[in-house]
Amino acid sequence: MQLITKNSLKTIASLTFILLLNGCATKNADGSYPKSRYSYHYANKIKMANNQQTEKFHNPQMRSSTLDKTYNKLPTYPKISQNTTMLNQHIIQFALSMLGTPYKYGANGPYEYDCSSFTQLVFLKHGIFIPRVSRDQAKVGQEISRNNLQTGDLIFFNSKSSNEVKHVGIYIGNGKFVHNTTRTHQVDYGDLNAPYYSQHFKCARRVTGMNHYASR
């Protein structure tokens, strides 16, 4: 009797060890394991997926390529290459949907942006790639005079301490623009006719109505 008990215990221990190695679950007909929260293999798969998402979040290059699908839940409008008026309307609508998004210098999203990562995202969502920083954004597209501004144009400003481009916004018409600003620390409206912005207006560029890769 004692011998049988020992043998039984050994058998149970062996079976338990085998089950543990196989994820505490038998395989499906296709060789996969059941999606049980108690399955070691399923839990490990979820852990690996989470690690991949974390890597994407902390890797700027991976983050920028997966931003729309993974982190940014804002609506994406279709690319419209022929009707630039409609495209500009979509750009403004999307930019205004981000009002109140926090400002953080050097941030690339998905929850915080600076002035130029904000404008880059807005145009990228509509299939138009522009560089990351404002001084480089000011070199692409078509140069536009202040008197010929249209909705959707990028507008650039210098600062009290420098004549170089230091800030960027998107013109929305009637002398107004939308930008992510340190003044209110969020995406907000701006007035081009206000003394500071009128004095420090540097230039404007139009990147719509050309091609969907303004920097090329």
Tokens of 74: 């804002």
Please pick, among 167, 185, 203, 212, the residue that the annotation labels catalytic: 167
Please pick, among 24, 41, 90, 115, the residue that the annotation labels catalytic: 115
Radius of gyration of the chain (CA): 27
Whether 115 is a known active-site residue: answer yes
Kindly state the helix (H) or strand (E) to which residue 26 belongs, with its residue range: none
Q: How far, in Å, CA of 15 to CA of 134, rounded?
A: 64
Please pick, among 58, 90, 126, 179, the residue that the annotation labels catalytic: 179
Query: Quick one: 87 exposed, middle or buried, by C-beta within 10 A (0-12, 13-18, 19+)?
Result: buried
Please state the length of the chain: 216
Residues 6+ apart with CB under 8 A from 159: 166, 167, 200
Whether 167 is a known active-site residue: answer yes
Distance of CA 72 to the CA centre of its chain: 6
Q: Which residues are catalytic?
A: 115, 167, 179
